[in-house]
Amino acid sequence: MTFNFSVSPSFPNERISDWYIFNTWLQRALSLPIHLELYDSFGTQRAAIAEGKVDIIYANPFDASLLVREKGFRAIARPEGQPDEMVVITAAESPFKEIPDLKPGARVACSDDPSVNTVGRILLEPADLNAANTVEHRRETYIQVAREILRGEADVGFLPVEAFEALSSIVRRDLRVLVTSQVHVIHHVFLIGPALSPHAEQITQLLLSMHDTDKGRGILEALGARSWQAVQHEDVEFMIDIISTLTQ
Partner 1 sequence: MKDMDRAQVPGEAVEHTLTFADGTCRRVFVTSVETPYPHGKLIVSRTDTSGVITQCNKSFVDMSGYTEAELIGQPHCILRHPDMPAAAFADLWKTVQAGRQWHGYVKNLRKDGGHYWVYATVVPNVRNGEIVGFTSVRREASQEKILAAEAQYRSMN
Residue (14 or 234) nearer to partner 1, CB: 234
Interface with partner 1 by CB under 8 A: which range of 18-26, 151-159, 177-185, 189-197?
Answer: 177-185
Contact flag: residue 248 with partner 1 (CB under 8 A): yes
Q: How many CB atoms lie within 10 A of CB 87?
A: 24
Contact flag: residue 185 with partner 1 (CB under 8 A): yes
* Pair 126, 100: CB distance under 8 Å: yes
Residue (83 or 224) nearer to partner 1, CB: 83
Taking the alpha carbons at both ends of the chain, their separation in whole angstroms is 39
Interface with partner 1 by CB under 8 A: which range of 5-13, 126-134, 160-168, 224-232?
Answer: 126-134
CA angle, 186 as apex, 74 and 209 as ends, to 5°? 55
Among 182, 198, 214, 232, the residue binding partner 1 under the rule CB under 8 A is: 182
At its nearest, how many Å lie between partner 1 and the CB of residue 48?
A: 27
- Which residues, at least 6 apart from 185, have a Cβ–Cβ distance to it below 8 Å? 83, 238, 239, 242
Q: How far apart are CA 194 and CA 152, in angstroms?
A: 48
Q: At what angle do helices 233-246 and 61-71 cross, to 10 degrees?
A: 110
* Pair 38, 16: CB distance under 8 Å: yes
CA angle, 85 as apex, 84 and 90 as ends, to 5°? 145
Among 59, 109, 127, 219, the residue binding partner 1 under the rule CB under 8 A is: 127
Contact flag: residue 40 with partner 1 (CB under 8 A): no
Residue (149 or 240) nearer to partner 1, CB: 240
Among 72, 100, 104, 194, the residue binding partner 1 under the rule CB under 8 A is: 100
CA dihedral 198, 200, 206, 208 (to 10 degrees): -170
Among 65, 117, 181, 204, the residue binding partner 1 under the rule CB under 8 A is: 181
Interface with partner 1 by CB under 8 A: which range of 40-48, 109-117, 157-165, 238-246?
Answer: 238-246
Contact flag: residue 110 with partner 1 (CB under 8 A): no
Rg of the chain on CA atoms, in Å: 19
Q: Contact residues for partner 1 (CB under 8 A)?
A: 98-100, 122-123, 125-128, 179-185, 237-238, 241-242, 244-246, 248
